[in-house]
């Protein structure tokens, strides 16, 4: 409630998907997304089951790691990440194959496996570091570790946001400054009209993996950047590209990336305290200051994240709706915005009929129909 935008958001008009999409387009999107949602839920259920099993019957190896608690925590955290990735790999492969079948993925299997390996290695390192810091804090502050723990979560998250654009992202894609030309001039013109320092603008070679189109803002301070998919530049007309850029400029104007970290700072103390209380109970009242307690801490963290996630997504949807309204105000071209919403849905196989409960739990953006409705409402009001 403190952080949600209170103004600058147009209320969407009521609109029917059948007015903007053919029956074939709607059926194709549903045929792709409905099983993908099932795969996601199955993956989450499998990961949760693994944690429940480890909590109920911890492996003997975890107890042996207690001889050197910090190194043991690092090893256990990394091993847990690798293990969960391996267990869910068949589901990930099915999801990838379906993306290929529908023409959304352009990757070879070798490229996909390489991406999975790199992501798993990075995840293992981060999990190992996080587990080590967490174990050190629990051992140093047995009763109040959740307070410095919440500060560590916020600090490490800020570090990741700052470093990811220059350290991690280039491991997966090639980023090039947007070359001089009409598009760069358009970006600078829009930024000037928005009275914002846009930072660096990059084109990313997304086409090596997907036919989908997107753009995003990421980074902090010197690493702040606007990133545009090469597929978006290649496949969408200029007026729709302008709408995308104007939307992303809103995130810069309103400092939405730092505000996201502020949201984390607001909820982290309560979240960390809940993790502590729940982990104590899951662990049967035994000490949390040993590697054998990591499954209980992990399960508690997953449960608390599942509870807090929808609140964060609600805030995100409101922020994204403000960015849509900002783009409409800046470009004053609702027809292009509506066409963009439709183009992105068709290209990315977004399902305009996403189940409401799924949107509440996982949706970070307004639905396609809400965005089209926002464009219609803005046109009506202006």
At 338 the pLDDT is 97
What average pLDDT does range 346-374 have in this prediction? 93
- Measured over the CA atoms of residue 346, residue 347, residue 351 and residue 357, the dihedral's sign is negative
- CA-CA distance, 160 to 51, in Å (whole number)? 25
- DSSP-derived letter for residue 363 is -
User: Would you say 249 and 191 are in contact if contact means Cβ atoms under 8 Å apart?
Assistant: yes
Q: pTM value?
A: 0.92
User: Does pLDDT of 99 surpass 90?
Assistant: yes
At 61 the pLDDT is 85
Closest listed residue to residue 190, CA positions, set 328, 284, 97, 70: 328
Model confidence over 42-85: pLDDT tens digits?
999 999 999 999 999 888 888 888 889 999 999 999 999 999 99
- CA-CA distance, 55 to 304, in Å (whole number)? 16
H/E element holding 243?
helix 238-253
User: Does pLDDT of 363 surpass 80?
Assistant: yes
Q: Provide the percentage of residues in the chain whose pLDDT is more than 90.
A: 85
Domain boundaries, the chain: 17-381
User: Does pLDDT of 94 surpass 80?
Assistant: yes
Residues 6 or more apart whose Cβ sits within 8 Å of residue 5: 254, 318, 319, 321, 322
What is the residue-averaged pLDDT of the chain?
94
- CA-CA distance, 115 to 99, in Å (whole number)? 16
At 186 the pLDDT is 87
What average pLDDT does range 292-314 have in this prediction? 94
What average pLDDT does range 122-138 have in this prediction? 96
At 195 the pLDDT is 87
Pairing status of strand 200-204 against strand 175-177:
antiparallel
At 63 the pLDDT is 83
At 59 the pLDDT is 85
Q: Find tokens 């979240």 and name the residue.
A: 271
- CA-CA distance, 96 to 113, in Å (whole number)? 11
Model confidence over 149-177: pLDDT tens digits?
999 999 999 999 999 999 999 999 999 99
At 183 the pLDDT is 87
Which stretch of 124-133, 150-159, 192-201 has the lowest confidence by average pLDDT?
192-201
Across the chain, the runs of DSSP E, i.e. the strands, are 175-177, 200-204, 215-218, 225-229
Q: In what order do the strands lie in the sheet with 225-229?
A: 175-177, 200-204, 225-229, 215-218
- CA-CA distance, 166 to 221, in Å (whole number)? 12
- CA-CA distance, 363 to 373, in Å (whole number)? 17
User: Would you say 131 and 77 are in contact if contact means Cβ atoms under 8 Å apart?
Assistant: yes
At 36 the pLDDT is 97
At 69 the pLDDT is 93
């Amino acid at each position: 409630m403190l952080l949600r935008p209170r103004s600058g958001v147009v209320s969407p008009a009521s609109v029917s998907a059948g007015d903007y999409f053919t029956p074939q387009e709607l059926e194709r999107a549903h045929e792709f997304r409905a099983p993908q949602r099932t795969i996601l839920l199955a993956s989450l259920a499998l990961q949760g089951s693994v944690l429940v099993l480890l909590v109920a019957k911890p492996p003997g190896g975890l107890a042996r790691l207690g001889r050197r608690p910090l190194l043991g925590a690092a090893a256990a955290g990394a091993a847990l990440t690798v293990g969960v990735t391996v267990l869910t790999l068949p589901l990930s492969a099915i999801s990838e194959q379906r993306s290929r079948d529908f023409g959304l993925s352009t990757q070879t299997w070798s490229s996909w496996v390489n991406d999975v390996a790199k992501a798993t290695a990075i995840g293992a390192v981060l999990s190992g570091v996080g587990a080590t810091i967490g174990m050190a804090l629990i051992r140093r502050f047995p009763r109040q570790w959740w307070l410095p723990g919440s500060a560590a979560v916020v600090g490490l998250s800020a570090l990741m946001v700052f470093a990811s654009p220059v350290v991690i992202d280039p491991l997966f894609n090639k980023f090039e400054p947007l070359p001089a030309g009409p598009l760069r001039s358009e970006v600078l013109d829009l930024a000037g009209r928005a009275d914002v320092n846009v930072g660096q603008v990059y084109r990313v070679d997304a086409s090596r993996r997907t036919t989908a189109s997107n753009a995003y803002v990421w980074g902090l301070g010197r690493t702040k950047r606007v990133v545009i998919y090469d597929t978006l530049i290649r496949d969408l007309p200029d007026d729709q590209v302008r709408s995308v850029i104007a939307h992303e400029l809103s995130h810069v104007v309103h400092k939405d990336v730092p505000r996201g970290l502020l949201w984390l700072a607001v909820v982290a103390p309560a979240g960390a305290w809940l993790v502590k209380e729940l982990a104590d109970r899951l662990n049967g009242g035994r000490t949390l200051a040993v590697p054998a307690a990591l499954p209980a801490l992990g399960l508690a963290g997953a449960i608390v994240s599942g509870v807090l996630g929808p609140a964060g997504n609600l805030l995100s949807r409101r922020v994204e709706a403000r960015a849509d309204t900002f783009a409409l105000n800046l470009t004053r071209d609702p027809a292009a915005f509506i066409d963009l919403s439709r183009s992105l849905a068709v290209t990315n196989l977004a399902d305009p009929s996403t189940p409401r409960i799924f949107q509440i739990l996982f949706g970070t953006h307004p639905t396609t129909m809400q965005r089209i409705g926002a464009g219609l409402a803005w046109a009506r009001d202006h």
